[in-house]
Amino acid sequence: MVAYTGSEKEKIGQPSLVLSTPGPAVRMIQEKIAAQLPSWRSRVGRLTREHGNYKICDVTVEQIYGGIRGVQIQVSDISYVDPSQGIRLRGYTIPELMTLLPKAPGTEYPLVGGLYYLLLVDELPSDEQACMVEEEWRARSTVPDYVYQVIQAMPEDTHPMTLLSQAILALQRESVFSREYARGIKKADYWEAYLEDSFNLTAKLPAIAAFIYNLKYRQGDAIPPDPAQDWAANFAAMIGYGDNQEYQDFSRLVMVIHSDHEGANVSAHASHLVASALSDVYYACSAGMDGLAGPLHGLANQECLRWLLDVKAIFPDLPNPEALETFLWEQINAGAIIPGYGHAVLRTTDPRFTVQYEFAKKYMPDDKIFRLASQVYDVLPGILTRQGKVKNPWPNVDAINGALQYHYGVTQFDFYTVLFGVSRILGLTAHAVWSRALGKPIERPKSLTTRLLEEMVSKTGR
């Protein structure tokens, strides 16, 4: 087995990969996945062999032109968005995860290493297993210097999401899978190399994101990692919150709730599509981040806070409910899209919104921005419902996240999607590992022309 042992301050041009044995957490996870694979492969094999012609749904012309909304085109056993209940990660709701995942020492908030174990292995980890993942991350967390140089070489006004995506792409040079593929590893073993790449990338991403933050907003004043901290708290420490237990807990919460949202949202699907060509985890995750950077997806996070601040500028003191309602109607009637509201799948308040809302009620009940976000939550769903256009009038995860970040002093809202991305890498990589483990083929649907569609519908006379 091949593993990346990490490297200290590598020079550009020097190879950084070395042969070694994987760390204990990777070995444990490999064994756990390998033990499950015969059963998974037989289940999938039986479905395709015995029920290959079973029809899941029809696709309408409206769906083809309408973003293939509602067409069931993916299988994700890692997470599922129930329209009326929200996300379940490996079957567990957000409140269940907050209770059941092993906790970081001295807090009621989970170790993200435990969540990653769950996503990969489909089993709740013990405290020891969660700590092993954290330890493996620590051991692999050194980022080669050339990645930082790529980030530094970019113009100052480059969006942080561009820097994040570029950094991931720059790391592609480290891919164990790409190197092993060139050497001719067997298809059945691809997933093990993907797992190696996934651990290396997820281990390094907090340091990369912190570097971007410090470069852009703290005059490049880097803060060294704190090896005593877990993955999420260490990230918080590296952007200046080493002494702030409350923000570290918020970081743990954020990293859990943003980690995955089933397989067909823009970032997950983009990443899956790219990996289906056997592009490695770095290529796939860089593509996923590019999708996350769109305002209708992860960038909504920053748009929400920008919008809340605009509203606050109009109502420097909190508006009374009637004034807010009038203002929101004006916005809606003028055709504005209110960021943080609506969802392509959900038909209820996003539980990822709720858990942050509860956190804010506990730790910052009097914060002005939070109270404004809260007032909007009281009024806007009713307005959107009465207007009757939006399929889901309820808030999604992004409606509130920025308000909390802002409260703690992370006021640079163009960074918010990066925070989302650091968490989402967990889901993207877990999907990639399992896609290779189950031998999923290259994804290649078929496109039509408008003329062909016109001919098809004219034949039916409808």
* Spatial contact of 6 and 141, defined as CB atoms under 8 Å apart: yes
Applying CB under 6 A, which of residues 391, 409, 448, 457 lies at the interface with ligand HAX?
A: 391
Stretch that binds ligand HAX, among 41-49, 272-280, 293-301, 431-439 (CB under 6 A): 293-301
Q: Is residue 352 close enough to count as binding ligand HAX by CB under 6 A?
A: no
Q: Is residue 342 close enough to count as binding ligand HAX by CB under 6 A?
A: yes
Applying CB under 6 A, which of residues 1, 68, 309, 337 lies at the interface with ligand HAX?
A: 337
Minimum CB separation from ligand HAX for residue 444, in Å? 25
What is d(CA 334, CA 322) in angstroms, rounded to the nearest whole number? 18
Q: Which residues pair with 89 in a beta bridge?
A: 79, 92
Nearer to ligand HAX, 119 or 257 (CB): 257
Nearer to ligand HAX, 138 or 269 (CB): 269
Q: Is residue 257 close enough to count as binding ligand HAX by CB under 6 A?
A: no
Q: Is residue 396 close enough to count as binding ligand HAX by CB under 6 A?
A: yes
Minimum CB separation from ligand HAX for residue 331, in Å? 8
Enumerate residues 6+ apart whose C-beta is below 8 A from 225: 141, 207, 234, 237, 238
Applying CB under 6 A, which of residues 114, 240, 339, 421 lies at the interface with ligand HAX?
A: 339
Annotation says 343 is catalytic: yes
Q: Is residue 338 close enough to count as binding ligand HAX by CB under 6 A?
A: yes
Enumerate residues 6+ apart whose C-beta is below 8 A from 12: 145, 146, 149
The alpha carbon dihedral of 312, 318, 320, 325 has a sign of positive
Q: Buried b / exposed e across 4-17, counting CB within 10 Å, b at 16+?
A: bbbbeebeeeeebb
DSSP tag of 413: G
Applying CB under 6 A, which of residues 147, 281, 300, 372 lies at the interface with ligand HAX?
A: 300
DSSP string for 140-177: T-PPPHHHHHHHHHS-TT--HHHHHHHHHHHGGGG-HH
The alpha carbon dihedral of 184, 185, 191, 195 has a sign of negative
Minimum CB separation from ligand HAX for residue 402, in Å? 11
Nearer to ligand HAX, 66 or 91 (CB): 66
Window 260-279: contact mask with ligand HAX (x via CB under 6 A): -----x--------------
Residue 261 three-state SS: coil
Applying CB under 6 A, which of residues 343, 352, 407, 431 lies at the interface with ligand HAX?
A: 343
Minimum CB separation from ligand HAX for residue 397, in Å? 6
Q: Is residue 390 close enough to count as binding ligand HAX by CB under 6 A?
A: yes
How many positions of this chain bind ligand HAX (CB under 6 A)? 20
Cα-based torsion angle of the residue sequence 233, 300, 435, 422 in order, rounded to the nearest 10 degrees: -20
Active site residue ranges: 297, 343, 398
